[in-house]
């Protein structure tokens, strides 16, 4: 019963995070200043953040690591060609992506950003728990691989909140890899059982 309550509370927390996932810029306050300069300010979230700028082809144009709460960076888009760009603000729990458009020299940002909450992998005894928030209810695939690289379990879902336990109590002891993928995001972790 205790584990059920713990899982239920975790699912509620993830559902609340999903509700805010498209509610604007969550971790980075992003504004257009004059002359094509975009200001990225890190909110007071307690973890360090990384900023990456990429073009519409996925080419990284700029990266900055370990930004602290309250810090900011002005990014000059005046010298780049017209096009679509993406600002990613990432910390250990999430990735927030904001689209930047430059058309005719005018720079604008999308009114909403996309928030990808990273999965949580937690080992408790012989059970590996995977928690994941999927606000867009996109296809998610979780694969478990044994030490030989063979798939021993697969879960496919588009649920808004995922709490899945994998029981290894009857499995051979060894190293297992769990891979969660959605769109272009892939997260994995290794566990010994």
**CA atoms of 74 and 82, how far apart (whole Å):** 18
For residues 13 and 34, give the distance between their C-alpha atoms in angstroms, rounded to a whole number.
39
* Interval 67-92 mean pLDDT: 90
pTM: 0.71
Banded model confidence at residue 42, pLDDT cuts 50, 70, 90: confident
> Could you tell me the residue ranges of all domains in the chain?
24-111, 117-192
Q: Is 56 exposed, middle or buried (0-12, 13-18, 19+ CB in 10 A)?
A: exposed
Give mean pLDDT, residues 49-70: 90
Q: What per-residue confidence (pLDDT) applies to 24?
A: 45
Closest to 191 measured CA to CA, from 152, 159, 162, 135 = 152
The reported pLDDT for the residue numbered 43 is 75
Instruction: Examine the pLDDT at 17 and tell me if it is beyond 90.
Output: no
Quick one: average pLDDT of 21-35? 62
Beta strands across the sheet bearing 28-32: 28-32, 37-42, 72-76
Q: Is the pLDDT of residue 14 over 50?
A: no
Rounded Cα distance, 55 and 41, in Å: 20
Residue 192 clears pLDDT 60, i.e. is over it: yes
Tell me: the pLDDT tens digits for 97-128? 999 999 998 999 998 888 888 999 999 999 99
CATH topology (fold) of 24-111: Immunoglobulin-like (2.60.40)
The structural architecture, per CATH, of the domain 117-192 is: Sandwich (2.60)
* Res. 4: pLDDT tops 50: no
Give kind and range of the element (H or E) at residue 11. Answer: helix 2-19
**Fold match between domain 24-111 and domain 117-192:** yes
Average pLDDT, the chain: 83
| Lowest-pLDDT range of 3-7, 96-100, 129-133 | 3-7
Predicted pLDDT at 45:
67
For the stretch 43-54, pLDDT in tens is: 766 778 899 999
Rounded to whole angstroms, the Cα distance separating 165 from 158 reads 17
């Amino acid at each position: 019963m205790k584990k059920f309550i713990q899982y239920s509370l975790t699912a509620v927390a993830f559902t609340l995070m999903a509700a805010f996932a498209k509610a604007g810029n969550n971790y980075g306050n992003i504004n257009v200043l004059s002359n094509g300069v975009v200001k990225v300010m890190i909110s007071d979230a307690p973890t360090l953040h990384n900023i990456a700028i990429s073009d519409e082809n996925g080419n990284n144009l700029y990266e900055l690591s370990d930004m602290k709460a309250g810090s900011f960076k002005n990014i000059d888009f005046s010298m780049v060609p017209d096009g679509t760009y993406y600002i990613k603000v990432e910390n250990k729990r999430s990735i927030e992506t904001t689209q930047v458009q430059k058309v005719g020299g005018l720079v604008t940002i999308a009114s909403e950003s996309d928030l990808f909450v990273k999965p949580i992998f937690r080992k408790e005894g012989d059970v590996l728990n995977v928690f994941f928030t999927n606000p867009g209810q996109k296809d998610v695939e979780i694969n478990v691989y044994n030490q030989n690289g063979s798939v021993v379990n697969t879960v496919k879902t588009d649920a808004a909140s995922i709490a899945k336990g994998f029981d290894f109590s009857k499995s051979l002891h060894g190293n297992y890899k769990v891979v969660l993928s959605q769109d272009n995001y892939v997260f994995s972790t290794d566990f010994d059982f």
